[in-house]
Structures are given as C-alpha cells and as structure tokens.
Chain A
Amino acid sequence: MSTTSQDPETVQTPMVEIQQLVKNFGKLNVINHLDMTINRGETFGLIGPNGSGKTTLIRMLVGLIKPTSGDIRIMGEHVPSRKVALKTGYMTQLSALYLDLTARENMRFFARIYSLHGKEQAARIEEMLERVELADRADDIVGTFSGGMRQRLSLATALVHRPTLALLDEPTVGVDPELRRSFWDYFHQLNQEGVTIIVSTHHLDEAARCTRLGLMRAGELLALDTPQEVLRQSGKQDMEEAFLYFASHERKEVTA
C-alpha cells in the first residue's frame, strides 16, 4: 500500500469515533448501541468483566468482525481500511505467534507484511527485542518460550511497524505482576511518543493507569470518563468498588 497525499494522520479527526454500534451474534446481543469517541494521544482503558463485550469491540475496531449496525471510524476512515491497517498495531488475547519460527523470524514476518524493509526493519526489530528483553533469545524457537516471553514477543510483533494506534486486547492476562508493571511502563512510554493506546483489561487496578476509561458490562457503557472522575462519581475508594457501584446502579435503572 503506497502512502497517499491524504495521510489520515494529517486530518485532524478523533482517533476513534463509534456511533450507535450494535453487534448481535444470532439472538445474543453483545454490543448494545454504543457511542464513544477516543482522542489522539489517549491511553484508553476498556474495563469490564469477561463477556462484557471488550474483545468483540476491539475485533470490530480492527475490522475482523462486521458490526450488525452503527458506524466506526478510525482516523476519519471507515473500517476496515488498508490505510488504517498500516498504522494500527493489534495484539490479540492469545499470543498469536508462529511457534515453529524463532523470535526474530516472527518479528521479520510481521515487519514485512507491514512493509517495513531493509536496514530500518533490522534496526527496529533489534530495538523492539531489546525493549521486551528478548534480545538474548532472538534466535530461539518460540515454541520453547514461556507464557510471559510469548506475551512479550506478541507485544513486540504488534508494535514493530511503529503504529500510531495500538489496540491491545488483554495484554496482561496471565502475566505475572512484575511483567504487568513493566508492560504498563512501556505503554506509558509509547503514549509519551504519541501513540494512541486502546487497552482492554479485567484487572480493575490497571484502570488508574489510563487517561480515560470505558467501564463496560453486558455490551453497554456504564461510565466513560477519567479514572479520577469515575471514582468521584461513584464516591468509592477503588476501582473495583466503583465498578460494582455502577453495575448495581445500572441494574436499578433498568428495573425501575
């Protein structure tokens, strides 16, 4: 894909605009009339329990599944768009890697399908492997890696092509606390470099690390605000209490 004069970067639109988004799987409603805008430069947290629709939402954002109705625009473009795809990094819930290849070969494959070549490619791969502390294992077969190492490599492959939008679906699931902290330090660093991050998690304690939160439950937004404001509105001390407050609050609203 060649870069055109109308670079989506230069068009000053929100990073993500979601309008009246609905997704049904058969009779099951997974996303229910969702409206949401995510600005450039945010670290946006999609917070909610398993089955709240976080993964479905992210899969619709990357264009893997089609919305039942409603509209998604990323960088002003309707998804799926090749232009957007080139600038998006996607880390799936499972560490999606080729287990029979080495770490470096995995990196090289993903770099090449995102049109990163030559010296720039080699330098970027080294840089990313250093960053996720896998440089010394670069030429080992990924099948021999531990879960945490795979998760780190998965993150590195998702970001190898310098995306401006990183969609990270539960990147810290099954990751030990130490690695979770280093992941979040890195997300913070990426954000400083201008990368917009959308990260889903069911670890409520990670919510405080985000610039803004979308609290999700059963395909609906319970709250959409900064962590401080979410806590303030609920009058609770921590995010877990706040989430429960909003969940029960909503239930009362529905039954009323």
Chain B
Amino acid sequence: MNVSRILALAGRIIRQVSRDRRTLVLIFLVPILVTTLLSLVLNTNSSTLTVALVRPTGQGSQQVNTLLNALLPTSDKLKTIDINANQVDSTLNNGNADAALIFPSNFTQQVAAKQHPTVQIKLEGSNPTVASALNGQLQAVTKQLGIALAALQGGQGQPTLPISANVSTPFDTAPTEYLHGGPEYTATDSLAPVFIGVFSFLFILLLTAIAFLRERAQGTIERVMVSPLTRAELVLGYVCGFTIFALIQSLLILLFVVFALRIHYSGNLALVFLVTILLTIGSVNLGIFLSGFAQNEFQVIQFIPLVLGLQIFLSGVFWPIAQLPGALRPIAYLLPLTYANEGLRNVMLKNADIGAIGNDLLALLVFAVLMIALSTLTTRRRIA
C-alpha cells in the first residue's frame, strides 16, 4: 500500500471533478433545490400507528379498562398494545409504539378518593406528523374517559358513550411530553437527514460509474492497471477522491437545512460524516461495479431507477420500514440507504451517540466491504 500513489489518484479525481464546473454546480445545488421543494410540498403521510397503553391495575380498574377499550378507536390505522410502566421509553425508542398513554396503576382508587390522578400522554416525536395526529387522538380519548367517569360518579348508572356534556373531569391530563423533537417539528425535520444520505449516494454513484466508464473508454484504465498501482490502491484512490465531494455535499446540505430551512438539528457532525463516509465507500464501489455493465453514459443513467428508485421507496425516506407491506420489508433490510437513513435520522433528530447507531454503521460497513469485493472482481474481469 503506497499512500503517495493513492493520493496521486485521489488528487487527479479531485482535479478532474473540480474542473467540471457544471457537474460541481449540480452536485451542490440540486440537493438544496430539491430539499427546498420537498419541504414546501410535503404534507401528511398515511400509516399504521401504534399506541402503547399502561393500564390502571389496582382494584376496580376493570371498569376503567372496559371504558378505555370502548373509547380507543380500533382500525387498521391504529392499534393498541399493552405494556408495563417501566417499558414506556424503550417501547417508544425501539419503534414498537409511536405514543404511550400512561395511567397510574392505582388510577381507579385515586379517582374514587377524588385525588385527581394524572394521566400522561407520551409521544415518540421524531416524526412530527405522526406525533401530532396521535396527540390529538389520545387527548380526545382521555377527555371522553374523564367525562364518562364523571358521569358514573354522578350516580347516573351505566354511561352511554359518547357523552357530550360540560362535566368537569375528575382527573387532569398532563401536558404532552415529547421524547424526541417537539410540537414545532415539521415533515422537513424528519426528511432533511435522509436527504444527506440519498444525495451523496446518488451523485457519488453516478460520478464514479461515469468516471470509470471514461477510464475504460479512453484506455487510461489499462495504463493504470499496468502501472505499479495495486487494485487496493486504485479502489482507495477512487474512494478518497470522491469521498471529499460527498462530505462537502453533506456539509452544504446540513448547513442549508439547519440555517435556511431552520430544521431542528441536535446531532453530532462527526457521526453524520462517519455515516456519509461509509455510505460513500459503498457507493463508489457500486459505481465501479455497475460501470462494468455499461457501454456508455446513457446506460449508466438507466441504472438510476433500479438502484435509486428502489431505495427511495423502500429505505424509509418517506414511509417507515415498519409500515411497508411484509413482503417488501426483507428487501428494505438489504438496502444500504435503509441503514444510512436510520443512522442519520437517529443522529440528527435524536442526538444518538455512536453506540446507538452501531448496527447501522455495521450494516453500512458490510455493504462497503461487499461492494469493494464486487468492484475488484469486475475490474479484473473487464480489463482482462
């Protein structure tokens, strides 16, 4: 491994790309333009939401639980799971539920003793659309429950639901808490992180595939192959040359979404870069690999729908993977952008540390290694 030779190659690539003004403008301006447009266009998304319920368990709770079952809307858009009080944060964090409705265990006794117990709504919060929809629904449920219980205490016997009366509720609903994000979060907040991944992946893939194609077409790759440069040095040189542009692009998108679109960013820049670097290594090598199957630039462009279309729809850019049809979910877990998106979202929205995105980093590393193996195989096959 000769660092000077790797730098020679990386330096040449940087020089070539920098000289191509139009490409430079496209790399850096297009992501910003598209991000801006999407942030303007985006509204709601439809999805199946899950509410985790911490039920009251003390004496006489059965009546409250029956009422709750009656009040919680059940549809294929919303389902309810029961959890214990100590599982709230972990259930929200690992994505098993989007919100939690938490009753104190002795809720019934407190109501009976007119102690005015507190019911808590807690939202996962990293997807603002989901958070606000669930907040509204759960607020309504607690209010109706309160009305029902007040009516019961008033001695009117079995209440009929829904009851609409100005009865003062025998308990308070605490202000909604957000584990991540807050009520001011918009859809752009949740999309900005994945744009960094999507754009660096797309542009680097195209740049590498076309650069490599040109090397083959103009015969320079043969001269590089007969030189003392090893395959490892060749791949590393390419990776270094293009990673620089991926990082500058990521930084620009990040600065733009934070300062111009004013997204709420609470992450660690080094981790954003780490995810980008791993993704770029995979992308550069996938580009080299794909260029082996293309005879000209037009054919490279044909790979975009295949490689990128698939990932935009399945990697959780717009729809969480958990909400994909079961048959598509395994495919989603094979896509590098799935892990890049999850990692970038966790870092930028939830301020996750390196341990929290360890699995995503590992998956991206596996993808990168796999792509290096593939690209090495194709350079051998195509040159020989």
Contact of B12 with A66 in the complex, beta carbons under 8 Å:
no
Given contacts A64-B383, A96-B218, A98-B16, contact A115 B226 (CB under 8 A): no
Alpha-carbon separation in the docked complex, A64 to B219 (Å): 12
In angstroms, how far is the closest chain B Cβ from the Cβ of A199?
16
Question: Which chain B positions have C-beta within 8 A of A86?
Answer: 228
Contact of B219 with A92 in the complex, beta carbons under 8 Å:
yes
Q: How many A-B residue pairs have CB under 8 A?
A: 76
In angstroms, how far is the closest chain B Cβ from the Cβ of A63?
6
In angstroms, how far is the closest chain A Cβ from the Cβ of B18?
10
| B258 interface contact, C-beta 8 A | no
Specify the main secondary structure of chain A where it touches its partner: loop
| B353 interface contact, C-beta 8 A | no
Contact of B4 with A112 in the complex, beta carbons under 8 Å:
yes
Q: Find A96's partner among B7, B9, B220 (CB 8 Å cutoff).
A: B220
Question: Which chain B positions have C-beta within 8 A of A82?
Answer: 228, 230
| A196 interface contact, C-beta 8 A | no
| A109 interface contact, C-beta 8 A | yes
The 8 A CB mask of B65-100 against A (1 = contact, 0 = none) is: 000000000000000000000000000000000000
Given contacts A64-B383, A98-B12, A101-B16, contact A114 B226 (CB under 8 A): no
Contact of A115 with B228 in the complex, beta carbons under 8 Å:
yes
Contact of A109 with B222 in the complex, beta carbons under 8 Å:
no
Question: Which chain A positions have C-beta within 8 A of B226?
Answer: 62-64, 80, 85, 88, 90
Question: Which chain A positions have C-beta within 8 A of B16?
Answer: 98, 100-101
Question: Which chain B positions have C-beta within 8 A of A110?
Answer: 223, 227
The 8 A CB mask of A162-203 against B (1 = contact, 0 = none) is: 000000000000000000000000000000000000000000
Q: Find B218's partner among A66, A98, A115, A117 (CB 8 Å cutoff).
A: A98
Contact of B218 with A94 in the complex, beta carbons under 8 Å:
yes
Contact of B224 with A113 in the complex, beta carbons under 8 Å:
yes
Return the chain A residue nearest B234 by Cβ. Answer: A113
In angstroms, how far is the closest chain B Cβ from the Cβ of A133?
22
In angstroms, how far is the closest chain A Cβ from the Cβ of B17?
9
Contact of B383 with A114 in the complex, beta carbons under 8 Å:
no
Alpha-carbon separation in the docked complex, A115 to B230 (Å): 13
| B180 interface contact, C-beta 8 A | no
Alpha-carbon separation in the docked complex, A101 to B19 (Å): 8
Question: Which chain B positions have C-beta within 8 A of A64?
Answer: 222, 225-226, 383-384
Contact of B220 with A115 in the complex, beta carbons under 8 Å:
no
| A65 interface contact, C-beta 8 A | yes
Interface residues of B (CB under 8 A from A): 2, 4-5, 7-9, 11-12, 15-16, 19-20, 218-220, 222-230, 383-384
A-B contact pairs, 25 of them (CB 8 A): A1-B2, A62-B226, A64-B222, A64-B384, A66-B384, A80-B226, A85-B227, A85-B228, A86-B228, A90-B226, A92-B223, A94-B219, A95-B219, A96-B222, A98-B220, A101-B15, A105-B12, A109-B8, A109-B11, A110-B227, A112-B4, A114-B227, A115-B4, A115-B228, A117-B4
Interface residues of A (CB under 8 A from B): 1, 62-66, 80, 82, 85-86, 88, 90, 92-101, 105, 109-110, 112-115, 117, 157-158
Other 12 A-B pairs with CB < 8 A, given A100-B16, A113-B5, A113-B224: A63-B226, A85-B228, A94-B218, A96-B223, A98-B16, A99-B218, A109-B8, A110-B227, A112-B7, A113-B9, A115-B228, A157-B223
